[in-house]
Amino acid sequence: MTASNLRSAYGGESQAYQRYVYWGNIAAKENFPNIGRLFKGIAYAEQVHAGNHFNELEDVEGDFLVASMAGFGAGPTSKNLEGAIAGENFEIHEMYSAFTAVAELQQEKGALQSFRYALEAEKNHSELFSKAKEHAEQGKDLARQDIQVCEVCGHTKEGSAPDRCPTCNAPSNKFKQF
C-alpha cells in the first residue's frame, strides 16, 4: 500500500510542478512577476517532493498505472491561485494525512519521512498562495521578496533563508533562492 501511495504522490507532485511552472508564466504575462516567481519557487518545492518520493521507490521496477489528483485548465492568475490552493489543501487534509497514517502503520520510515516533509511544505504553500490570491484579486502583485526553498524537504518561505530548516534541520546553504 505504501509503495502505491508513493507512486501516486510522485505523480501528483510531478503534475503540480508542471502546472505551477505554466501558471507562473501566465502570472508574469499578466504583470504579476512576483506571483509568477512564487509559482516557480513552489514548483521547485514540488519537484523536491517528487524526487524524495521517487527515491523511496528505488528498489521498485516496472511500469505502473499511477492514480493522482490533478487539476487541469489555465485561467487568469486569481483563478489559477484558487486551483493551487485547492490542490494544496487536498494534499494537506486528505492525501498526505492518509498516506502518513499508512506508512506509519506499515513502519515504512523512509516513506513516512518523505510524506511528512511534503505535508509540512504544503501548509506553507497554501498560506503563500492564499496571500498571493488576495493581492491578485485586487489587481496587485506581491511585494518583491526572495522565495527560499529547502532542497532537502521543500520547505518554502519568503525572505531570507533560516539558519536551519524548521522541517528537516538542513543548514541555510541547502536553500535555493527564487
172 secondary structure, DSSP code: G
Tell me: the pLDDT tens digits for 6-56? 999 999 999 999 999 999 999 999 999 999 999 999 999 999 999 999 999
What sign results for the dihedral spanned by CA atoms 115, 151, 128, 22?
A: negative
Tell me: the pLDDT tens digits for 123-178? 999 999 999 999 999 999 999 999 999 999 999 999 999 999 999 999 999 999 99
pLDDT of residue 73: 83
Cα 135 to Cα 66: distance, rounded to the nearest angstrom: 36
Task: Please tell me the least confidently modeled range out of 65-69, 84-88, 93-97, 137-141.
Answer: 65-69
Phi, psi of 154 (to 5 degrees): 90, 5
pLDDT of residue 69: 66
pLDDT of residue 170: 99
Cα 52 to Cα 28: distance, rounded to the nearest angstrom: 29
pLDDT of residue 63: 72
Cβ neighbours around 66 below 10 Å, total:
15
Cα 29 to Cα 6: distance, rounded to the nearest angstrom: 35
CATH class given for the domain over 2-141? mainly alpha
What are the domain boundaries of the chain? 2-141
Residue type, 153: C
Cβ neighbours around 140 below 10 Å, total:
13
